[in-house]
Amino acid sequence: MKYILLRLVIAVLLVLGFCAAVVIVPPSGIPVLNYHQINDVDENLLTVSTAEFETQMTWLEEHGYHTITAAELADALEGRGSLPNRPVLITFDDGYIDNYTCAFPILKKHGMKATIFIISEYVSLYPNYLTWEQLLEMQAHGIEFGSHTVDHNVLTELSKNSINHELADSKQTLESRLGRRVEFLAYPCGYTNEDIKARVSAAGYRAAFTVDLGNTHVGDDLYALNRVPIFGAIPHTMFRFVGRLQCPRLAAWLENVQRSLIRSGHTGLAEIMPSI
Average pLDDT over residues 233-262: 83
Q: Which CATH number fits the domain that encloses residue 142?
A: 3.20.20.370
The helices-and-strands tally (H runs, E runs) of the chain is 11, 10
Instruction: Verify that 59 and 173 share a domain, yes or no.
Output: yes
Give the residue-averaged pLDDT of 126-146.
Answer: 97
Residues 7 and 83 grouped into a single domain = no
pLDDT at 19: 47
Total number of domains in the chain: 2
Residue 207's domain spans which residues? 28-246
Higher pLDDT: 180 or 20? It is 180
- Within this chain, do residues 226 and 192 fall inside the same structural domain, yes or no? yes
Residue 13: predicted pLDDT: 56
Q: For the stretch 135-155, what's the b/e string if a residue is b when 16 or more beta carbons lie within 10 angstroms of its beta carbon?
A: beebeeeebbbbbbbbbbbeb
Supply the DSSP symbol for 28: P
One domain for residues 14 and 87: no
Residues 65 and 95 in one domain: yes
Question: Which stretches within 24-103 are classed as H helix?
Answer: 50-62, 70-77, 98
- Asked if residue 47 and residue 169 are part of one domain, the reply reads yes
List, in sequence order, the alpha helices (H) in 65-193. Answer: 70-77, 98, 104-110, 132-140, 160-178
For 52-97, the pLDDT digits (tens) are 999 999 999 999 999 999 999 999 999 998 999 999 999 999 999 9
Check the CA dihedral 101-106-111-117 and report its sign. Answer: negative
pLDDT of residue 24 exceeding 60: no
Report in angstroms the alpha-carbon separations of 171 from 22, 109, 151, 180.
Answer: 39, 30, 12, 10
Of the pLDDT bands very low, low, confident and very high (cuts 50, 70, 90), residue 255 is confident
SS3 for 219-268 is: CCCCCCEEEEECCCCCCCHHHHHHHHHHCHHHHHHHHHHHHHHHHCCCHH
Q: Do residues 178 and 257 both lie within one domain?
A: no
Q: Is-contact 211 204, C-beta < 8 A? A: no
Phi, psi of 143, rounded to the nearest 5 degrees: -85, 130
Percent of the chain with pLDDT over 70: 89
- List, for residues 213-229, the tens digit of each pLDDT value: 999 999 999 999 999 99
CB 148, CB 95: distance < 8 Å: yes
pLDDT score recorded for residue 198: 98
Confidence class of residue 37 from pLDDT cuts 50, 70 and 90?
Answer: very high
* pLDDT greater than 50 at residue 21: no
CA distance 120 to 102: 21
Taking the CA atoms of residue 175, residue 179, residue 183 and residue 185 in that order, the dihedral angle to the nearest 10 degrees is -50
Q: In this structure, are 82 and 196 located in the same domain?
A: yes
CB 254 within 8 A of CB 275: yes
Average pLDDT of the chain?
Answer: 90
